[in-house]
Amino acid sequence: MKIDEARNYHKIDAVIVGAGLAGLRAALEVAKSGLSAAVISKVYPTRSHSGGAQGGIAAALANAGEDSLESHMFDTIKGSDYLADQDIIERFVNEALKTVYEFEHMGVPFSRTDDGRINQRPFGGHSSPRACFAQDITGHVLLHTLYEQCLQHNVLFFNEFQVLSLLVSDDVSRGLVAWDIREGGLHIFHARAVLLATGGYGRAWKVTSNAHANTGDGVALVLEAGLPLEDMEFVQFHPTGLYKHGILLSEAARGEGAYIINDKGERFMKTYAAAKMELAPRDIVSRSEQTEINEGRGIGGKDYVYLDLRHLGRKKIVERLPQIHDLALNYLKVDAIDEPVPIQPTAHYSMGGIPANVRTEVIKDAKGTVVKGLYTAGETSCLSLHGANRLGCNSLQDAATFGRIAGIHMTEFCRKNAFSQLPAKPLAVAQGKIDRLWQGQGKERHAPIREELQVNMTKYMGVFRNQDDMLKMLAIIKELQERCRQVTVDDRGGVFNLDLIEALELENLLSFSEVIVEGALARKESRGAHFRSDFPKRNDGEWLKHTLAWRRDGKIALDFSKAVVIYPQYQPQERKY
Amino acid sequence: MAMIDISVKILRYQPEKDEKPHWQVFPLTVEDEFTILDVLNEIHWKHDGTLAYRRSCRSSICGSCAMKVNGRNVLACETPIHRFGKKLKIEPLSGFDIIKDLAVDLEPFFAKLKRIRPYLILDKPLPDKEFVQSPGQLEAIGESTLCILCAACSASCPSSWPNQDYLGPAALLKAYRFIFDSRDDGADQRLEIVNDKNGIWRCHTIFNCMEACPKKIKITEYLSRLKVKVVENSL
């Protein structure tokens, strides 16, 4: 039988991997144009981790105080520690208002001002109240609204499918191969255009706010396809992770006025960022917290500090921050109305990812050569909008805005380009991955290897880094990669084989973790979320540039491209808050 | 933190080898602070890799891990084991076909959602900026937008069990959420869909859905308001 007659062969104009905000927004755009759009997701779309975003979506609507696009632009540049590309930020702030109004017209239940407009709250690093919010479930309502819009416009959904290989050759994307989790079996998706919108890679850490699904599958697939990743060393640690669990407690708490205090009851941010206090950007607050803990001022000398909401009062907590209240109560049995909540930094957001230009086209080198028909948006992409540190609320805006932009460009591309020919044996790579786990003779299991990776990434690749720790981590990763080759799975059935999926995800985690460490070792400076105790200063002379990393002959090869600084008024300067 | 011994009884069904579901008991030593999800992970990662279940966010927002524990529908990720003592009985949500172990077939559940046209329907032109909606108008639908589509409500509903055609509480709550949205113009279409023996009238005010809802949404109350609206609309 010819491959394009097989039951598991799908020919679709635009195939979108990932059903979070970026993926759904892109799919909606393509579907509205009348082309066929399919979303492939390892979880049901409403389970995507965009729904975990709590605090808000940034846009200078000026509904709750004066604001301007210029101010949003400068705050984002400064927040990024000057590494973000200014042409990208310009496009971003110019589109941000439209994105929010569009969401409102779709029916998003934004919280309101007294006169019925979208309400906004202050957020870290933003100089005006810029976070448009729906209580503290902003990501949840945006995600559900977009999913519902996609249902209306007949987007095709392949729920519970895991992508195993990208069909990219000669710098042209031709489609991809995915495993049907529910039934078992490989499917070929032949597409004119493919979007990678697979989210972040925070699951490489033990203490993380990320969902089980956030295993960086997209970045690992790109690496496997011989394409580069950008700025992978920049990983944001969120200052208010629920102690031990790492679960996110939104910055909205501090936006509404919560304090962070140490063992002496001091609001210690006065030492580190006297002007902005708790609303300094996340990299700075997390470092301050970790410094307090390291110097013995954690609560009872332990590895946590307190998030204190008590002075906000019951009404504000219940009305504005109900999810935070519930999470602390459920997981730590702490009632935030009466008690301070134990918190610690938690791996949260991946600034790095798949390099792309302002049209969201994936690029394959420092010159910006485009891979035809391949796009990326949202957390898995690196445009670079967030540089070395992302501001809160810019992520939902990033995912939705560049999701829409991706949809526009993919539609345009699909109208102009025929389907590219599939390779001779499209299933070979994916089948090889399954066969090895099912037919291998090895005795290793995925769970202990993953545990070892996560524990050590938290220990050695956290808020503070240094060469010795990172070299240790690199050696550990090499050893774990070796062991991973010996992994087989208990479950040999096709139907809903979680064992198989977790083993496949582990290969991805180990693959990109090596890039994170190599990038961090090479970058001998401190910038944004990447802080090296052995090189504590930012070094613009040598390092105002992006890292590009490839896997070549089993090793990581690096190249660099200059950060885009186009505005004379936004030249790098000392970053103080 | 202390370690405790527990007994976990799980309803297993592996379609490729089991004719029908059967119970399997796992004796475990675990931390007393464990959640139900921690227990499932412990089994899956250390004892039996073939165990199938859904989970993702582990912070009660994605809605993946609704299941029945000691007779109650809960989210596994947010439910501490101490709520149930040392004997746990874990089974998939009722009223759905089992795919494997604790993973059930949710396609009918999501198909029902689509039936009620879950999107704003507008007759009026779009404003340049946002629609004006007062805090009071938002209040009418605010709580209903918390729904995470975990299906705990539909799985607890005795009216849903024998009747696969009944829209069920989640889809009806979604209908409420749009019909009562001050911006929406599609109430008539949706009221026609829910005004059916397999629509709102199949709700017998049993309150199970409300008790099962992990987000504590007053579902029964909203469905009752929907009934009133249907009657008002037909007068």
In this structure, are residues A267 and A277 in contact, taking their beta carbons and an 8 Å threshold?
yes
Give residue-wise pLDDT tens across range A265-324: 999 999 999 999 999 999 999 999 999 999 999 999 999 999 999 999 999 999 889 989
Closest C-alpha among A190, A176, A146 to residue A26: A146
Q: Among all residues of chain A, which has the CA nearest to that of B102?
A: A496
A394 touches chain B (CB under 8 A): no
| Residue A169 Cα to chain centre, angstroms | 26
User: How much of chain B exceeds pLDDT 90, in percent?
Assistant: 98
Q: How far apart are CA A437 and CA A180, in angstroms?
A: 16
Q: Exposure string (b/e) for B103-133, b if CB count within 10 Å is 16 or more? A: bbebebbbebbebbbbbbbeeeeeeeebbeb
Instruction: Tell me how crowded residue B197 is: count the other CB atoms within 10 A of its CB.
Output: 10
Which A residues 438-477 touch B at CB under 8 Å?
Answer: 445, 447, 451
Identity of the amino acid at A115: D
Give residue-wise pLDDT tens across range B28-53: 999 999 999 999 999 999 999 999 99
Interchain contact, B181 vs A109, CB within 8 Å: yes
Give residue-wise pLDDT tens across range A420-465: 999 999 999 999 999 999 998 999 999 999 999 999 999 999 999 9
Q: What is the pLDDT of residue B1?
A: 79
A211 touches chain B (CB under 8 A): yes
**Residue A282 a catalytic site member:** yes
Q: Among all residues of chain B, which has the CA nearest to that of A215?
A: B56
Name every chain B residue with its beta carbon within 8 A of the beta carbon of A151: 113-114, 118-119
Q: What is the pLDDT of residue A161?
A: 98
The minimal CB distance from B149 to the residues A46, A327, A445 is found for A46
Q: How far apart are CA A16 and CA B46, in angstroms?
A: 34
* C-alpha separations of B70 from A380, A446, B74, B95, B223 in Å: 40, 30, 10, 17, 27
* Average pLDDT for chain A: 96
SS3 A55: coil
Q: What backbone torsions phi and psi does residue A15 show, to the nearest 5 degrees?
A: -110, 125
Q: Which of A25, A192, A203, A282 is catalytic?
A: A282
Whole-structure pTM value: 0.97
A498 touches chain B (CB under 8 A): yes
Interchain contact, A330 vs B58, CB within 8 Å: no
Distance to chain B for A407, nearest Cα, Å: 20
Q: How far apart are CA A135 and CA A119, in angstroms?
A: 10
ipTM: 0.98
Name every chain B residue with its beta carbon within 8 A of the beta carbon of A451: 45
Express the helix, strand and coil content of chain A in percent, nearest 5 each.
Answer: 40, 20, 40
Distance to chain A for B227, nearest Cα, Å: 23
Distance to chain A for B197, nearest Cα, Å: 25
User: How much of chain A exceeds pLDDT 90, in percent?
Assistant: 97
B212, B218, B223, B226: CA torsion to nearest 10: -160
Name every chain B residue with its beta carbon within 8 A of the beta carbon of A493: 14, 16-17, 50, 100
Which B residues 24-63 touch A at CB under 8 Å?
Answer: 35, 44-46, 48-63
CB pairs under 8 A between A and B: 157
